[in-house]
Every structure is written in structure tokens, then in C-alpha cells.
């Protein structure tokens, strides 16, 4: 079901091999592979795994690569482990069934297009630790109604909320 490659501190999950199996809708990523921790989900590892509705990521994971879950259109829930410090570009782009995202304390950066085109996304909860949000990170989310930005200086790139018509002018935490 998974392919792994060794990295400096354990293993990277490089590919989810059951992408086309409609019978598999929920997966739990193992925390250990061959006696070593699974520390990373590689770029594009779950790209277009269209039948997945739920993925459980172990706390051993500290890095999630670019486009790791992009195009998982049925993905409804995802847990982001507390050891993750960055959401890479396009990580959850086009996960059109996600409704709510809570990013854990410790995440400092959200890459460009990270949550772009999550069509059912209504709520985003950001941690106080956030320092940078890339271009169009939350764009093209027509149902986005609520996001809390911490009341501190954050580097925000352009068109962050483009095409989010339900998001009012007042963003929680900002005046």
C-alpha cells in the first residue's frame, strides 16, 4: 500500500500505491517502517488518490511535501501532526471535500496554493506560531466563511483569499 525511501532520520513515504482502489477510503500511515520512524510524506505521495476520505498521519511525521495530498477530492478529514513546521506548496490543493482545517501550533509557514480549490472548506484555524502565508494559499474556496489570523505581524503574499466570496471583510484577529 505504501512505498518508502530511507532518509537521514528515518523513512519518507514516497508513494501511496492504492490510489485507484475504490475499496480503500481510509488509511493510517505507520509511524515505523523497518524499525525506523516514518518522518516525512514525500512530494506527490498521495496525488490524486481520489477515493480517500480520511488519512491518519502519525506524530512521527515532521514534514509533508509539496502536492502530497493534492487532488484527493474526497478527502474530508486530515490531522496535521504537531511536529510539522511547514505546509508545503499545494499540499492540500483541490481537496474539494475538506470542510475544516486546524493547523497545529508550531507551523510557521504555509506555502503558495496550499489549500487552493478546497471547494467545501468553510473554516480555517491558524496557530499563533504562523509567520508566513504564501500567494493564493486559500484562494478559490467559494464556501470559506471563517479564518482566524493571529493578531501579530505575519508575512502575507498576494491574492491570499482570491475567489472566496463568503469570506467577509473582517477576518478574525484582524481589524
pLDDT in tens, 6-51: 999 999 999 999 988 889 999 999 999 999 999 999 999 999 999 9
pLDDT in tens, 35-92: 999 999 999 999 999 999 999 999 999 999 999 999 999 999 889 999 999 999 999 9
Pseudo-torsion of CA 109, 111, 117, 123, nearest 10°? Answer: 0
SS3 for 48-112 is CCCCCCEEECCCCCCEECCCCCCCCCCCCEECCCCCCCEECCCCCCCCCCCCEEECCCCCCEECC
pTM of the model: 0.93
Amino acid at each position: 500500500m505504501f512505498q518508502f525511501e530511507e532518509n537521514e532520520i528515518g523513512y519518507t513515504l514516497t508513494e501511496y500505491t492504492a490510489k485507484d482502489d475504490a475499496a480503500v477510503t481510509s488509511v493510517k500511515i505507520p509511524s515505523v517502517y523497518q524499525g525506523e520512524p516514518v518522518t516525512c510524506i514525500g512530494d506527490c505521495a498521495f496525488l490524486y488518490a481520489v477515493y480517500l476520505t480520511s488519512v491518519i498521519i502519525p506524530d512521527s511525521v515532521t514534514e509533508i511535501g509539496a502536492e502530497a495530498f493534492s487532488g484527493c477530492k474526497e478527502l474530508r478529514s486530515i490531522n496535521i501532526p504537531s511536529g510539522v513546521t511547514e505546509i508545503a506548496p499545494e499540499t492540500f490543493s483541490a481537496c474539494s471535500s475538506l470542510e475544516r482545517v486546524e493547523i497545529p501550533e508550531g507551523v510557521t509557514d504555509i506555502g503558495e496554493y496550499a489549500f487552493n480549490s478546497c471547494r467545501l472548506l468553510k473554516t480555517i484555524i491558524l496557530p499563533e506560531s504562523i509567520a508566513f502565508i504564501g500567494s493564493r494559499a486559500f484562494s478559490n474556496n467559494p464556501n470559506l466563511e471563517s479564518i482566524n489570523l493571529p493578531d501579530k505581524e505575519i508575512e502575507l503574499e498576494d491574492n491570499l483569499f482570491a475567489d472566496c466570496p463568503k469570506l467577509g471583510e473582517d477576518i478574525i484577529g484582524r481589524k
